[in-house]
Structure 1
Amino acid sequence: MDKISTIKENILQFIENKGIAKAEFYRKTEIADSNFKGRNLKSEIGGNHIVKILATYPEINSEWLLTGRGPMMKEIIEENSLLKEARPVYKVKPIPLVSVTAIGGFGNNSFSISERDVKDYYVIPKFRHKKVDFMLEVEGSSMYPKYSSGDVVACTVINENSFLQWNKTHVVATRGQGIIIKRIKKGSSDATLCMVSDNKDYDPFEVPKEEITGIALVVGVIRLE
């Protein structure tokens, strides 16, 4: 089996191939040169750095950067393609897959995901026309059959409650109950929201708005059979 090169090894190969000065690369990508020295050379590079590299050097083939497979440059992909007709080239932003404990503070204008809470980054071409801020793995069966345990849902952060889409599935971060994936309906008062499961074995319940620290709309799903 061929040895799979590390991302840092691929970065150094790209720099050498393009004749880019290391100092220039570190400055443009805002990556400290210490990441490529001593023991740090064997450590993983953060997903935020990968996003910065792909944004700074869009000619890099992201699959090659992450796995070492395929051609280094996107242009080579097009030249070697059997499809000679012109076709659009889409830039797809890697999406963070976060743990269920990572989202306690989302839903505000300063929303950010800590790097330590990101399990991995994925490029999903199907989501290129949607604004996807993060992905989250579904746990439990309360939203079955719409969503099963193990499904990965793609989510768009909602910054204002006025943009809630009633009866749509949302990811809700709460202080007392953690992360909830439910359909949202109007509560019995202006101070609450009603959480509804698709699985009829689970009764609806209300959550006070003051207990909610953030909300995101589910806009897509990835499912393995």
Structure 2
Amino acid sequence: MTDRIEIARRIKDLRAKMDFPQSFVAQKLFVSQSAYSLMENAQNGINSEHLLRLSKLFSVTADFLLSGNNKLIEMNYKNGFIPLINARTHAGFLKNMHKEDVMDDFEYYRVPGFNPTKDSYLIENEGSSMEPTVMSGDILICQTQHKLERVLDGSIVILVTKDAILTKRIYKHDDDEYFWTESDNPNEERKKEIKKRDIDQLLMVMGKVSNVLIPHREMAFKGKMQFFEESLGALSKEVYQLNKKLNKLKPSHKN
């Protein structure tokens, strides 16, 4: 009987702390308010389904409700944890992303120095389109941007469509129905259009966790190659403009 009284006291204290009325909690448990009131007064027992619903509602573990052990914490964004969508689970996320409880099946992790919200995600990057900025296997720390007009030119984002999860740089388009996307990898096709209506979610990349350390020489080499490519492009434009001016200066030949 003591255990039931202690469980009832913890539930009552948590409800008061969250400022929830009894009717609200009863609704979440699919019971009447009078039945829930009996639970708080230790006159009614609590089954396993109610226990799980209460632990989720109050953001505590079932172990805390049963025993008062507060050394364990619920892994959710309120406690600093973020769901990880790794490469293996990309397809499942795309298939179920509109379901309310889709994130319940993912593993949760804490990132030191980052305070998540309910719209925060960890997403494992696949492919080489953003190398060397983002490597395959890097874990990207992301935040959902609900207002597309607030996205700044040149931001690194993850675009979630019904078919794919894409990591790109994004730029505004002359046509308001589109974005331009670019890859950082010079060996990939650089610029593409994407329709805004095809984007189910746009996630801003806030940072990354990487297990890849690129050798300094390789970074320097890639930087030099990019510099040479840009210089050659600028030189080609200057030569073209110079030829146009020279052609204008040539005397015209009349028959």
Pairwise TM-score range, normalised by the shorter structure: 0.5 to 0.7
Percent same amino acid among aligned pairs? 22
Q: CA deviation at 1:143?
A: 0.9
* Partner residue in 2 for 1:179: 165
Partner of residue 182 from structure 2, selected from 196, 204, 208: 196
**What's the CA shift string for 1:6-35, capped at 9, x where partnerless?**
xxxxxxxxxx8xx5459839x869798426
Aligned residues: 167
Q: Indicate the SS of the match to 1:215.
A: strand
* Partner residue in 2 for 1:114: 102
Distance 1:192 1:35, change over 3 A: same
Inter-partner Cα distance in structure 1 for 2:193 and 2:79: 38
Partner of residue 34 from structure 1, selected from 48, 58, 66: 48
Task: Calculate the aligned-residue CA RMSD, in Å.
Answer: 4.0
Distance 1:198 1:61, change over 3 A: farther
1:210 partnered with 2:197 = yes
Per the normalisation by structure 1, the TM-score is 0.58
Partner of residue 60 from structure 2, selected from 53, 56, 68: 53
Inter-partner Cα distance in structure 1 for 2:123 and 2:58: 19
1:141 partnered with 2:144 = no
**What's the CA shift string for 1:177-200, capped at 9, x where partnerless?**
421111101235222111111111
Letter of the structure 1 residue corresponding to residue 70 of structure 2:
I
Identify, as 1 or 2, the structure richer in helix: 2
Q: Indicate the SS of the match to 1:125.
A: coil
Letter of the structure 1 residue corresponding to residue 102 of structure 2:
S
Distance 1:201 1:122, change over 3 A: same
Structure 1 unaligned blocks of 5 or more: 1-15, 38-44, 67-90
Contact 2:83 2:122 in 1 (8 A): yes
Any runs of at least 4 consecutive aligned residues in structure 1 with deviations exceeding 6 A, and if so which? 29-32
Matches within 5 A, 1:61-100: 61-62=71-72, 92-98=79-85, 99-100=89-90
Q: CA deviation at 1:62?
A: 4.7
**What's the CA shift string for 1:69-102, capped at 9, x where partnerless?**
xxxxxxxxxxxxxxxxxxxxxx842111123242
Higher normalized contact order (CA 8 Å, seq sep 6+, divided by chain length): 1
Contact 1:133 1:156 in 2 (8 A): yes
Q: Indicate the SS of the match to 1:100.
A: helix
Per the normalisation by structure 2, the TM-score is 0.52
Contact 2:140 2:206 in 1 (8 A): yes
Q: Indicate the SS of the match to 1:154.
A: strand
Computing the radius of gyration from Cα coordinates, the structure with the larger value is 2
